[in-house]
Structure 1
Amino acid sequence: MLQQEEPDDYIIASNETHSVREFLEEAFKYVGLGDWKSYVEIDPRYLRPAEVEILVGNSSKAKEKLNWQPRIKFKELVKIMVDADLRKLNLEAPGEGDKILKEKFPNRWWKID
């Protein structure tokens, strides 16, 4: 993006749609906590009344102009995020997210420690 002759806006997205519920299911399954409903409370006051049912990021412009495409799938992203959050809390992370980063981005632009 920064190497383009003209600045432009790009959407960097997976082109997939997932709910918060799906994220919770994957995250809790990943760390072996079972049903997320035992840990998460939903306060209806914070639900948006006119919520859009489906939101999907369209990265076709980035693909066309930058030859960019997503390399991380939803379930992989959940593992990467959970590992990072656990580590930030000084808790032991399962480490599958770290393995995904090492495999897909061997040049190590990311930081685990």
Structure 2
Amino acid sequence: EQHSVREFCEIAFAFAGRHIKWEGEGLNEKGVDKETGKELISVSPVYFRPAEVESLLGDASKAKKLLGWEPTTTFYELVYDMLRSSFEEVGLTLPSFDECMRRVSLSPADGKVQKA
């Protein structure tokens, strides 16, 4: 399963009640609040790497085979946990995971690890 930084940002902002539209490209790309037009995300030249490989993808099959490891956290749960922690650091409360999943127009069950 592979996800982009852009996708992470879109989900995190949706969980926080904001929806992003992207404008521009490269160093001029901005994530703008669809409702207000306010710039919420910008590309920092410090972190922009135009020569970066297009895609990096890990392979957990060895951990599964040798250790019997299986993921217990989905991408959506990871985004939620990271955002909830950041909210708590500044004294804010993030709505429940289920409510956040509804904000990205997904069923809460879509974002949870399915038990075999």
Give the shorter-chain TM-score range.
0.5 to 0.7
Percent identity, aligned pairs only, is: 41
Q: What is the root-mean-square deviation of aligned Cα atoms in Å?
A: 2.3
**Alignment match, 1:86:** 87
CA-to-aligned-CA distance 1:68-93 (integer Å, 9 cap, x gap)? 01122212211111111111221112
| Matching residue's letter, 2:78 | L
| Matching residue's letter, 1:85 | S
- TM-score when normalising by structure 2: 0.63
- Does residue 26 of structure 1 match 2:11? yes
Q: Which consecutive residues of structure 1, in runs of 5 or more, have no partner in the other structure?
A: 1-15, 105-113
**Alignment match, 2:40:** 39
* 1:39 partner SS: strand
CA-to-aligned-CA distance 1:40-75 (integer Å, 9 cap, x gap)? 111345311321111112111110111001122212
**Alignment match, 2:96:** 95
Structure 1 residue ranges, 4+ long, deviating more than 4 angstroms after superposition? none
* 1:78 partner SS: helix
Aligned residue runs from structure 1 range 51-62, under 5 A: 51-62=52-63
User: Size of the alignment, in residue pairs?
Assistant: 85
- TM-score when normalising by structure 1: 0.64
Q: 1:73 to 1:42 in 2, by over 3 A?
A: same
Q: 1:80 to 1:27 in 2, by over 3 A?
A: same
* 1:26 partner SS: helix
Aligned residue runs from structure 1 range 62-73, under 5 A: 62-73=63-74
Task: Name which of structure 1's ranges 40-49 and 26-35 shifts more when overlaid on structure 2.
Answer: 40-49
Greater RCO (Cα-Cα under 8 Å, separation 6 or more): 1
Structure with a larger share of its residues in strand: 2
